[in-house]
Structure formats: C-alpha cells, structure tokens
Structure 1
Amino acid sequence: MSKPDPILIGIDLGAGSLKVSAIRADGSLVAEAGAPVATATPHPGWSEQDPFDWWRAVIAAVPPVAEAACKAGSIAAISFSAGAHTQVLEDAEGQVIRPAILWNDQRSRAETQELRDLADQRILDIGANRANPTWTLPQMLWVRRQEPEAFARVKRLYLAKDWLRSRFTGTFETDTIDALGTLMLDAHKGVWSDELCAMIGWPMDTLPPIVQPRAVVGGVTAEAARLTGLPEGTPVVCGTSDTAAETFGAGMVREGLGVVKLATAATVNVLSKTARPDFALINYFHVVPDHWYVIAATNSCASAHKWLRDTFFKRPGEEGGPVFDHMDRLAAAVAPGSEGLFFHPYLNGERSPHWDPLLRADFVGAGFNHGPGHFVRALYEGVAYSLRDCLEVLRERDLGFTTARLTGGGARSPLWRQIVADVLNVTVELPAVADASFGAALLAGVGVGVFADEQAAAKAVGIVATHRPDPARSAVYDRGFPIYRDIQRALAPLNHRIHDFVGGR
C-alpha cells in the first residue's frame, strides 16, 4: 500500500489578511483560504493590530484547508510567516499588554532620530541596518517613553508569526531572520546584543531563544487541533518573515536573480553571500544557509492600489476584485506616461532611497485631458518608478539584476507586471504560486525532510508568465523617471510644511 502524499501547510499573516496554503511536494496547490485582519490608525502615521484578530482569522481560514489537506494526503508539517518588526508584548500572566505596532508604523520618528544622534554608525555596525521607525528597536523605545506602565509589565516579546505559532505549540522562540529584524540582534554573532538593548533600556530576559527558520519547534497541541482541524502532534516548523518566505517561495536561491514584491509595501530583493551594511539598504539573513538578501523598499504599493479603488472607484455593495479588473481595463487604454500625470506613492512616508516618514503622496500634472484610467495607470507607473528608485540604489552598489520574479497581490495584474518590466528594464517572471504562505509551506517541507534542502525545495517553483521590457515603452519611462525624481525633490520641503500644518504627531 502506497504512502499518502505529504502535504505541507503555510500560514502567512499579512497586513490586511491571513492566508493559508496547502501544497504537495511538487509545489501544486491542494487548497487555500484567507480571512481579513483589521488595522487601526488611532493617530496619523500609526498602524497597529489586535493579535487576537489574527487568531480569529486562523480559526476562520485554517479548518477548511486542513480538511482538504487531510483528504489529499497526510499533513507532514506546518510553518508560519508574517511581517518583520511587528511585535506582541505579554505580561507575566501571558496577557497581551497592548496592540501590536506594525512594521509600517511611523510613530517612533523622534526616537529614531535620537538613536541616530546617539549611535547611528554603531547601530549599523552591530545590527547591519540603520535605525528607522519601521524597526522594533525605536518602536520599543517609544513604548518605554510613552507607555511606561506597559513597558514595566513586559515579560515576553514575541514577533508576530512567533506569537501566532505559540498558539499552536505553546513554545517561545524566534528565527534568526526575524531576530535580525528587531535591530536588537548582533548580526555578526547571531545573539541578542547587550549594547543595542541597553540603548533603549530593554530587558534582555524578555527576548526569545533563537533558532533556524527550518527548525522543528514543537507539535500541534490538542487544543489547537480541536480549534483548527489539524491533527494533534503535526510537526511545527519555526518559519520566518514574510519577505524571506516570499523570496524563497519565488525561487531566489541563486545570485543574480532578483525578486520584486508588489504587496502592501513593495521591495526589491537580491541574494548576496555577505551582508551589505549601508545607510540606504536593508540586510537580512536568507533562508538559504550562509547567504543574505539585500532590500531596498517602498512603503506603499498594493495598499496604494486599494486606497485608489476604495476612495474613487468602489461603489457600495461592489466586490473588490471586479473593481480592480475594471481599473486595469481603464489603465490599459492609456498610453505609457499617462499623458504627463505623475504619482508618488508616499501615502505612509517613504523608505528607499529617501528614508523620510513625512513624505506625502501626490498626483502631479493633471489636466482636463485626464480621466479615471490616467489616474490608475499613473499609480501603476508611480509605484514602478518608486521601485526603480530602489533598484538604482542596488545598481549603484553592483547588486543589480536582469531578471526578477514577482510576488505579492499586485503581481496578479498583467498590465502592472508589464509596466514594472518596462520601467525597470528587466525581464519579469511570474511564479505559479509565490506568496509568503507558499514559501512557508516549502520551508515546512525543508524542516521535516520532505525536501533535502532549500535548493531542492526551489525546484517546486513553476513559472507561468514572462514579461520582457519593450524598448519603445522603456524609452518613454527613461524620460519620465528624471521628472518623477525632480517632482519628489521639489515637493519634499512642502511635505514637511504640510505635516506641521496638520499638526502631525
């Protein structure tokens, strides 16, 4: 009697939803499901979530996938991913102290500047990254300063995917990649840094043990099995950050291949044998042992797309997907360059290459000749220009590439994929499945030996579409890109004045 197929399950916590995917060892999809997750913005620039909303999403999304997986074979392992930097603080009784501050939160601007003034280069030397409001280090300094009662209660600091995983296993640990994402880790020694933690007065006994992303950390408990439908004792693999899972799920296991992520935020990622500490870049350990991946990132991508849809195109009662399709059709009818309409996607400040949380989004160049399709296409082009800003930072440091795999929800649009290829002037490949839940499922397989190693797992990645840059369209965007940059430079001082005008915190 033949053994049942091993089924691997990945659970990814995104900024707006939780997604669960079950796959076979060949990468084919068995089942998937999702559930929404709400984000609160109690003040401008703030972004936080209730961790128990994540668990409610698990209870909604995991059972149907678990049922389908059990029918298709035997669940070999599960693993997790979530946005980096996002933390959950628990007290001595295991109670969540406050909402989780998300990676895109900008409240710790003053704390970030204080850390830079104190030890800008030293933080980069130890942590391989620069202090920014998106990192846990300045966020926790904000908690210490602004919420001292909460700070005094902290017994455990979880990263988002680790807190969620603890609901399945009851264990307390994190992986090397998420640990680095706190900016509280010594990147060279792979241990928590006394010096970095001392800069914010953070008690080191609250930090979790560190394991590899592929490590099996426990099994599904009886209670978690009852609530999710997963078999009790199913091996649980630690997992990692969403971008690490996505780049792995896209097959970025060799140098020279880039990954462009079109998700809530957008990133340009490239594999490197070493860290590249630089004030303009982000460095992470990679899932592939003895490698790093280097990032340049823009804060708003699919989130900007959704904002445009919800603000100007979606009517009451309409579903989101068909509206996106309608927007695509409108944009496709507009010529490259959007007849001089430019968009900067700075709806929540910006990272690469400006590192300015006070930048604001804009449409510039509007005239009576511009209709709804122009605004959609200008948004697509504006995000692509922002990605080119990111890619130019990498190219200047000899980290460029000529082929990129696309991940994230924005990659579903063939038009947007082609615009990215034309603006970046690179060949764009679309994997059959390449979201973080897929990457987490592959990682689960590495952890329990379904795959011999990360290279073997990458063979399960299939390519379903290829977009090559069109020379004529690329020439248009080569002319537009300097204008895009000049508009940003001209408006940056005004963005700061607008921030002061509205009384931003």
Structure 2
Amino acid sequence: MTILSDDALIDPAFGPRTLCHARSGEWMVEGIGFLSGFALRWVRDAFFEPLLKLAQSDLDAFALIEKLAQDVPVGAAGTIAATACPMQSDAWRQPPLSFLGLDLNAPGRALGQVARSVMEAGAFLANHHLEKLEALSGQRYDTLQFTGGSSQGTLWPQIVADVTGREIEIPEVKETTALGCAMLAAVGAGLFATIDEAVDAMASPIERRVVPNPENVALYQPLKTRWSEVIGGVRDLGDATGLEPIWRPAGARNTEL
C-alpha cells in the first residue's frame, strides 16, 4: 500500500517507510505486503498444478483457484492464512507459514479455503497498511488502485474492496512498476522534458472499477481484528519455538526485540 506526499512523513512507530520519489519534492510512503501474491502462486504450484497435471487437464490453474475460492464464504470458513506480518521498518518479524482453522472434515472445499484465506490475508494486510498511512497523512483515500498480477482476476480485487470498504480501480496496464520505469527511461532518452509530460502521455486508463459489497464489508469488520491477533500470535509462537519464518527480510534486527 503506497501513497505520495509533498512532505517526508515519518512514522514514529517505525511501521511504513518513507522514500524519495523520482519526482523532485515528492515522497513515497509505503507499507509493503511482501509475499501476498507469491503465496497464492505457491498454492498454485504446490496443489493446483499437480492436480491438473494428474487429471491431464489444460484448465488454467488460477481460474480454478478463483472458482474454488469463490465457493467459500467470507472468512474462508474460519481459515486464517499466516503469510506475512505488517511492515515494521526497524524489526520486521515474519510468521512461519500456517493455515489456522482449516476444516479437515470438509476436504471437498479445503483447497478453496486455503486459496481464499491467502487472498483475505493479503487484503487484511493491505487494510492494516492503509489505516496506518491514513493516520500518518491525515488523509482518507476513498479510491485505491490495485495493480500487478494479483489484480488480473475478479475475486481478489473484490475481497480487497470489501475488506477496505473502498472502491478499487484496476488499470489496463497491470505491471505499473514496469510502466513507471518506461516513463523514466523516456524522460532520460529525451522523449519527454519532464516526468509529468511522460505521465500525461503514457499513463494507463482505468480498465474497471470494483465497488465494495456492503454485506461483506460488515462481515469483514470483526475478521480484520481476528486476523491481526492470530498473525501476531503465530509470529510470536514461531519466535518462541524456533520455527522457520516464511521469509527473513534483509536488514531487519533479530527476534530478541
């Protein structure tokens, strides 16, 4: 989750981080959700691709993931995925990969629960960072842009809209990091005099908008708190028992903090 600011906003609690923007006099403040998209790709590679290979099916694995996850109700039938913790710039500690509350008595929908819980975890994490950034900036952001590979489906953007309660815009060009690099390269090559000129000429139009479902917004309210409590508990349990975290961020201090 990222915002742009004219001021160098510094979080006194060392959550989101502040970086120089490419445009002079502007700052980028971000709460990073590392591994949210990668976690769903892991689900695809670990479970769905082998099943489709055994069935000799040419069905798209992500399409099947979305279909099965769509059949699982809000809250992933009680399953909470521990895939990443909120950003903590000075001591970022991560949990061991876990799926808490997975119902072994309902094997027919277990894969859907796993897939949906990963999507919901990504949305909960994005919402946590959104709340931190709004508190830091004093602004409310009624519209969010969702980009990258995770924005290509229909379910995950809807979950993000429902968890945050905000309208989601999805641009035609999903790989916006690459697009930004192309804009800077175009300025460097002399095709445009300024970054603003490059943005005006190359910015991607909005492909579609996703509106929050009011019923789901209400259902997700208590689940956001529960996710925060569970993810913190799994992280602390991993620290106490020496379980391997899902990843170790470079430069973060050790877990004795």
Tell me by how many angstroms 1:484 deviates: 0.7
Question: Residues 390-429 of structure 1 correspond to what in structure 2 (within 5 A)?
Answer: 390-397=129-136, 398-429=138-169
TM-score by length of 1: 0.43
Amino-acid identity (%): 26
1:317 & 1:339 partners in 2: Cα distance?
24
In the TM superposition, what is the alpha-carbon distance from 1:361 to its structure 2 partner?
2.5
Query: Which of 378, 389, 392 is the equivalent residue of 2:117?
Result: 378
Shift of 1:298: 2.1
- Specify the alignment match of 1:277 in structure 2: 10
SS in 1 for 2:144: strand
Structure 2 CA distance for aligned equivalents of residues 371 and 424 of structure 1: 26
**SS at the partner of 2:81?**
strand
Tell me what 2:35 maps to: 300
Give the gaps of 5 or more residues in structure 2: 249-253
Per-residue CA distance 1:88-146 (angstroms, 9 max, x = gap):
xxxxxxxxxxxxxxxxxxxxxxxxxxxxxxxxxxxxxxxxxxxxxxxxxxxxxxxxxxx
Which whole-Å deviations, capped at 9, do the CAs of 1:141-176 have from their partners, x for residues lacking one?
A: xxxxxxxxxxxxxxxxxxxxxxxxxxxxxxxxxxxx
CA drift of 1:322 comes to: 1.1
Partner Cα separation in structure 2 for residue 327 and residue 316 of structure 1: 12
Q: State the TM-score, normalized to the length of structure 2.
A: 0.81
- Structure 1 moving runs of 4+ over 4 Å: 316-321
Q: Secondary structure at the match of 2:7?
A: coil
User: Is residue 2:70 matched to residue 1:335?
Assistant: no
Residue 399 of structure 1 and its aligned partner are, at CA, apart by: 4.7
Aligned partner of 2:25 among 290, 295, 298? 290
How far the C-alpha of 1:499 sits from its partner, in A, is: 2.0
Name the amino acid aligned to 2:183. L
Task: For residue 501 of structure 1, report the CA deviation from its aligned partner.
Answer: 8.4
TM superposition shift of 1:402:
1.4
Distance of 1:407 and 1:464 partners within structure 2: 11
Deviations 1:255-278 (A, max 9, x none): xxxxxxxxxxxxx00010011122
Which of the two has higher C-alpha Rg? 1
Structure 1 unaligned residues grouped into runs of 5+: 1-267
How far off its partner does 1:477 sit? 1.0
CA distance in 2: counterparts of 1:291 and 1:477, whole angstroms = 34
Report the equivalent of 1:114: none
Structure number with the higher helix fraction is: 2
Figure out how many residues of one structure are paired with residues of the other and give that number.
234
Q: Secondary structure at the match of 2:242?
A: helix
Q: 1:327 to 1:402 in 2, by over 3 A?
A: same
Compute the displacement of 1:406 (Å): 1.6
Secondary structure at the aligned position of 1:430 is classed as: strand
Shift of 1:463: 0.8
Deviation at 1:365, TM superposition (A): 1.5
Distance 2:42 2:68 in 1: 17
Tell whether the 8 Å contact from 2:192 to 2:198 is kept in structure 1 after alignment: yes
Measured after TM superposition, the shift of residue 288 of structure 1 is 2.2
CA contact under 8 A between 1:385 and 1:484: conserved in structure 2?
yes
Deviations 1:193-218 (Å, cap 9, x if unpaired)?
A: xxxxxxxxxxxxxxxxxxxxxxxxxx
Aligned to 1:431: 171
CA distance in 1, matches of 2:208, 2:193: 28
Tell me: CA distance 1:320–1:289, structure 2 relative to 1, closer, same or farther (3 Å): farther
In structure 2, how many angstroms separate the alpha carbons of the residues matched to 1:479 and 1:394? 21
For the aligned residue pairs, the C-alpha RMSD in angstroms reads 2.6
Greater RCO, 1 or 2 (C-alpha within 8 Å, sep 6+): 2
Shift of 1:425: 1.4
When residues 299 and 499 of structure 1 are mapped into structure 2, their CA distance, relative to the original with a 3 A threshold, is farther
Deviation for aligned residue 1:353: 4.7
Residue 343 (structure 1) shift: 1.2
Structure-to-structure mapping, 1:31-430, within 5 angstroms = 268-278=1-11, 279-315=14-50, 318=53, 322-346=60-84, 350-353=85-88, 355-367=91-103, 368-369=105-106, 370-397=109-136, 398-430=138-170
Change (3 A) 1:501 1:353: closer
Partner of 1:473: 216
Amino acid across the alignment from 2:163: V
Partner of 1:446: 187
Tell me how far 1:488 sits from its aligned partner.
Answer: 2.1
How far residue 452 of structure 1 moved from its aligned partner, in angstroms, is 4.0
